[in-house]
Amino acid sequence: MIKAPTIKDIAKRLNISISTVSRALRNASEVNPETRQAVLKLAEEINYQPNQLALSLLHKQTHSIGVIVPNLDYVLSMMVKGIDEVALEAGYTVMVCQSNESYGREIVNTRRLMESLVDGFIISISSETKLVDHFKKIQDQKKPIVIFDRLPTDLAAPKIRLDNEDGGFQATQHLIEQGYKRIAVLAGPDTLDISNKRVDGYLKALKHNNMRVQKDLIIHCDFDQDYAYFATKELLGMKKRPDAIFTISDRMAIGAMLAIKEKGLQMPNDIGLVGFNNEPVTKLLTPAISSVDQPAFEIGKAAAKVFIEMMNSDIDMTSREIVLKPKLFIRESSQRLLHTVVK
C-alpha cells in the first residue's frame, strides 16, 4: 500500500524543519514568503492531505455531534434529519446511535461516542433510563449536552420538547366534542415524561368537561403495536367497554385498530380512535386515523441550533427550554359528527 505523504516528506524535500513546514501550512506570518510558497507548491504536487484527527486534537474539536435516540422510528428519524440539516450547514458531522429502549445500551453508546471524540451530545433517553450519571460524567468533562423529545427530570441541560400535555388535551377534547363518554387512554411506560404529560392532557380534558376519571381506562404499556393490540382486547372485553380510545403513539393506534376490527366494531360509530405523531400511514388506513401531529423536523433543528450555540458561547444555557406546539389532524376514525375532515 502506498504511504500517504506527510509533512516530514515536505521538510526533507525542501531541506527545512518540520516545524517550519507546519507553520507554512498554517500560513503563519513568521515564515518567509518564498519558503511558504515553496511548501504550498510541493504540498499540492504530492497531494499532501493534513491529518484531520491531529488537527482536531490540536484545536480540541472534531466538529462531530453524538446523537443518541431510543430508535429510528418515523418521528425520531425526522428529528435526526432536522439535527443533521442544521449540523451540516454549520460544518458538523452527526454520529447516530440507537439505544433500542435499553438503559445499558445507552451507556455503551455514550462511552463509544466519547471514545470517538465527539464534541458533545444531543440525546433522547430510553424508556428504561432512570439514572443519568453517564450523562453527568459527560458534563463533568465540559462537553455540551442538549436533551430533546424525551426529557430526564434531574439533568441540567437545554431541553427541546413538544407540548405533550396540550397534545393529549386536544385529542381527548375532540373525542368529547364528538359525543364519546367513556374514553380510554393507552399510555406508554409511566417512567417516561412524554407519556405522563400526554396522560396529563387527557385528565385535564376530562376535568374541563366535568367527566369522572376512571382508572381502569388508563392502561400503561410499551410503545408497541402488539402490546396495544392485547391491551385493547382487554378494554373491549370489559363489561362496560370504552366507546373511544386515545393512544399516545400511532404504532399503538394501529394495534388498537386491529383489535377493534377483530371485535367487529365500526369506527367511528361504535368506537372512536385517536393516535399521536401523525405518521404517514395514518392517512392510508381504512378508516384513516385521527392523530396529533408534532413538528419533529423542527424539534431536531432547534436541538442542533442550541447545541451549536453552546459550542460558540460561554453563556450558561442549562435552564433553556424550547417548547413546540402540536396540532390535531381529524380523520374518519373519530369523526362521528359532521365536521370538516382534515386530511
User: How far apart (Å, rounded) are the C-alpha atoms in residues 328 and 335?
Assistant: 12
| 259 shares its domain with 225 | yes
pLDDT digits (tens, 9 = 90+) for 301-316: 999 999 999 998 888 8
Q: Are residues 290 and 318 in the same domain?
A: no
Give the mean pLDDT of 236-244. Answer: 96
Same domain, residue pair 191 and 313:
no
CATH of the domain at 43: 1.10.260.40
pLDDT digits (tens, 9 = 90+) for 31-77: 888 888 888 888 888 887 766 555 555 555 678 999 999 999 999 99
Q: What is the CATH number of the domain that holds 74?
A: 3.40.50.2300
159-188 average pLDDT score:
97
Q: What is the pLDDT of residue 2?
A: 57
259 within domain boundaries: yes
In terms of Cα–Cα distance, which of 127, 148, 150 is closest to 197? 150
Residues 137 and 194 occupy one common structural domain: no
Q: Is residue 340 part of a domain?
A: no
Same domain, 168 and 283: yes
Total tally of structural domains belonging to the chain: 3
Mean of the per-residue pLDDT values of the chain: 91
- Structural domain of residue 168, as residue ranges? 164-294+328-334
User: What is the pLDDT averaged over residues 249-276?
Assistant: 97
Report how far residue 137's alpha carbon sits from residue 155's, in angstroms, rounded to the nearest whole number. 11
Average confidence (pLDDT) over 19-41 = 81
Task: For residue 340, name the pLDDT band (cuts at 50, 70, 90).
Answer: very low
d(CA 170, CA 290): 11
76 within domain boundaries: yes
What does the pLDDT read at residue 4? 73
Residue 95 sits at φ, ψ, to 5 deg, of -115, 115
For residue range 82-120, what is the model confidence (pLDDT) as tens digits? 999 999 999 899 999 999 999 999 999 999 999 888 999
Same domain? 16 vs 69: no
- Assign 213 a pLDDT band (cuts: 50, 70, 90): very high
Q: How is residue 233 written as a grid cell?
A: 382486547
ω before 189 within 30° of 0 (cis)?
no
What is the predicted pLDDT for the residue at 301?
A: 97
State in Å, rounded, how far the first CA of the chain is from the last one. 59
Q: How far apart are CA 43 and CA 258, in angstroms?
A: 65
Q: Is residue 339 part of a domain?
A: no
In a domain, 83, yes or no: yes
* 80 and 175, same domain (yes or no): no
User: Do both 114 and 262 map to the same domain?
Assistant: no
Q: Which amino acid is at 315?
A: I
Q: How confident is the model at residue 339 (pLDDT cuts 50, 70, 90)?
A: very low
- Is residue 169 domain-shared with residue 286, that is, in the same domain? yes
Q: Strands of 64-69's sheet, edge to edge? A: 93-98, 64-69, 120-123, 145-148, 159-162, 321-324
Q: Are residues 184 and 273 in the same domain?
A: yes
* Alpha-carbon torsion angle 244, 247, 248, 253, nearest 10: -140
Q: Using one digit for the tens of pLDDT, what is the confidence trace for 283-295? A: 999 999 999 999 9
Residues 66 and 158 reside in one and the same domain: yes
One domain for residues 178 and 288: yes
257 vs 267: CA distance, rounded Å: 9
